[in-house]
Amino acid sequence: MPSTSPDADAARSTFQAALEAKGHAVDNARAAATGLEAAFAAGVLQRTAALDQMLGDLGRALEQHDGQKLGGKSAEAARFILRAISRELADA
């Protein structure tokens, strides 16, 4: 059952704002994921199995090694995964 509190609605809106923010998709994805993790930790949103999997996928897409810069493929993967997370948040 989805979370229906005003805090849950605010967390979803904050995620959507990060998704639509101007700037580099990788930076936006990190901000969106951090916000979701905070909402899960606070009990504002419920972590679903699908969201857990998507956030794991996002983490792998955003991995950097020793100063490696993330480019087009990471950014495109991040955008794709964020859109899927956005759809799944209705059930969180």
- Using a cut of 0.85, tell me whether the model's pTM lies above it: no
pLDDT band of 85, cuts 50, 70, 90: very high
**How does DSSP classify residue 43?**
T
User: Which pLDDT score is estimated for 52?
Assistant: 92
Q: Note the pLDDT tens digit of each residue in 11-70.
A: 999 999 988 889 888 888 889 999 999 999 999 999 899 999 999 988 888 776 555 555
Q: Is the pLDDT of residue 89 over 60?
A: yes
User: Cβ of 61: how many Cβ atoms within 10 Å?
Assistant: 20
Residue 92 pLDDT > 70: no
Nearest C-alpha neighbor of 88 from the set 58, 57, 38, 49? 49
Q: Return the DSSP state at 12.
A: H
Domain ranges of the chain: 6-91
